[in-house]
Chain A
């Protein structure tokens, strides 16, 4: 009923949504505490990452298990160019595009040798690539110290507009605004831009070419699609968003180390897509939100145990992964198409319902 009202009045829905998004950090900060504003920032980062990976996996159907490598590249480029590590302090608006572009170039570099591979073979090669980048970052501290090894790079410059740095607490218009709040709005802007680009790409000549390759690569080639270029484009576009998110992460955290870019991160981002609904933007966003918020929420199981049982019986960290794993298994068993799948993907997984849909389609035809 509410959805119907909003569908009839999209302007009202838009205004309400915009107001909610703008007020969200303050609502969350007041209701759940300051630490949750940071969680909110991470939610937005993961939405960008998941939408980036979705271009490769969801649109073009190329299973990429090394996506975190591009995230790492973006983060390290930011750290190199805006920290005391090399003594460079370039402004963020110069560093972010550089990191994103370099990640895009590496996307093509990774894509080139994998052009002939599909499915599980592609997954293994991309997995290797992700690990190689991480191990490079871990070991490039001698003979020339490029990455500072496992210690990582510290004191990375925060984002700053002119003299206004996203650090400490500011008072704006009578409101106390922390850095986490400011980053929220910055990330929100980038997230909205990412959603916009992802939507436009999907509904375009390029998006159709990606879908065609996902469906049947041989037929796509026989219909005149340059499969090599179109696949490399998918890798490059996805990697660019990965690099962008990496730069934002570095500025936000102020500290990065190879540990942040392990295989589990790649898997988590992939899970967000699969859980939410591969190839479908609202689903991917929901997946990113859930898989960022739930692990944080499950941290509080320790407190609940203390309150109810007087002691911590099961370590929350263990329980977290257990519940998370169980949730994934249940999802894949009962709703493999994801939480909000595209209509198309829903059909793929529910072929037995297709007769009803066919009748539906023929009704459309009769009316059209």
Chain B
């Protein structure tokens, strides 16, 4: 296994608040890596630093050796690192299929001239964008919902659509921010199956999750954040028995 993503001593301060304090972790290619921790531990802050929505105060983030820290979000996506959001952020008034087609933006190139002249090249590119988007919709189980408005989809389908949209950018690493929050047990199981299929398709997954059971069942390795620090990392079972983790979740004895 080779290291896909390396995070080294990343610190993020908001004014005097240390949201992240020298966090380091390594995600191996092909694994499902879980990031857990109590509310306010800094999980989403770390995601936002990794995906370019926040600049880091110190430290380095690299994807296959290429620096990602303090790059623009679109540069990071172009490198092959996509994400979803904790509070679903779809393009609500576009159709489901259009949402996924937007994800192809970074892997296509037609500009103004191409759009206006609409030559053979542009038409072929548009057809390919549409076809790929439809494939991805089918992959996440939304094959028949392409024409529906994104905001009209059921909650679980919106989560799936967000994943399809992120997949459209052809990520090697996909970061999912609480992808099963608010789902019932059946939906959670189905999402878990989707994650397995994604891994089989060659996408490395980085998962923020509250549902410890899902994380433990699914993830190869887990890191635990608390108050902006990494307090444990390792296999699911090992982390579960770590006294520091138990203290963080249940309060110090």
Contacts and interface: CB of A to CB of B under 8 A. Distances in A.
B53 A225 contact: no
B204 interface: no
A contacts with B: majority SS: helix
A194 to B, nearest CB: 11
A212 B169 CA distance: 15
B102 A220 contact: yes
Interface string B107-145: 111111011101000100110010000000000000011
B102 A200 contact: no
A204 B114 contact: yes
Q: Contact size class for B?
A: 35 or more
Interface in A199-254: 200-201, 204-209, 211-212, 215-216, 218-227, 233, 237
B77 A224 contact: yes
Contacts of B13: none
Contacts of B152: 354, 357-358, 361
A-B CB proximity, top 10 nearest: A224-B106, A204-B115, A224-B77, A215-B91, A219-B89, A221-B73, A365-B144, A361-B148, A212-B102, A226-B74
A224 B105 contact: yes
B94 interface: yes
Contacts of B122: 204
B66 interface: no
Interface of A: 196-197, 200-201, 204-209, 211-212, 215-216, 218-227, 233, 237, 344-345, 347-348, 354, 357-358, 361-362, 364-365, 368
Contacts of B98: 208, 211
Given A215-B91, A223-B165, A224-B169, A205 B147 contact: no
B115 A205 contact: yes
B78 interface: yes
A237 B113 CA distance: 12
A219 B53 CA distance: 10
B183 interface: no
B158 interface: no
Contacts of B166: 223
A226 B125 contact: no
Contact of A197 (B108, B110, B116): B116
B11 interface: no
Interface of B: 51-53, 72-74, 77-78, 82-83, 85, 89-94, 98, 101-112, 114-116, 118, 122, 125-126, 129, 144-145, 147-149, 151-152, 165-166, 168-169
Contacts of A206: 110-112, 115
Contacts, number: 128
B100 to A, nearest CB: 10
Contact of B53 (A211, A216, A222): A222
Nearest to B149: A347
Contact of B115 (A201, A221, A357): A201
A223 B162 CA distance: 10
B169 to A, nearest CB: 5
A223 B112 contact: no
Given A215-B94, A227-B74, A344-B94, A222 B83 contact: yes
B74 A212 contact: no
A189 B156 CA distance: 50
B208 to A, nearest CB: 15
Contacts of A344: 93-94, 149
Nearest to A222: B73
Contacts of B51: 222
Contacts of B110: 204-206
B79 to A, nearest CB: 10
Nearest to B170: A224
A361 B112 contact: no
A221 B144 CA distance: 27
Given A220-B102, A221-B74, 18 more contacts: A201-B115, A204-B126, A205-B125, A206-B110, A206-B115, A208-B94, A211-B94, A221-B73, A222-B82, A223-B82, A224-B74, A224-B82, A224-B106, A224-B169, A347-B93, A358-B148, A361-B147, A368-B144
A215 B92 contact: yes
A43 to B, nearest CB: 24
Contacts of A200: 115-116, 118
A30 B77 CA distance: 61
B74 A225 contact: yes
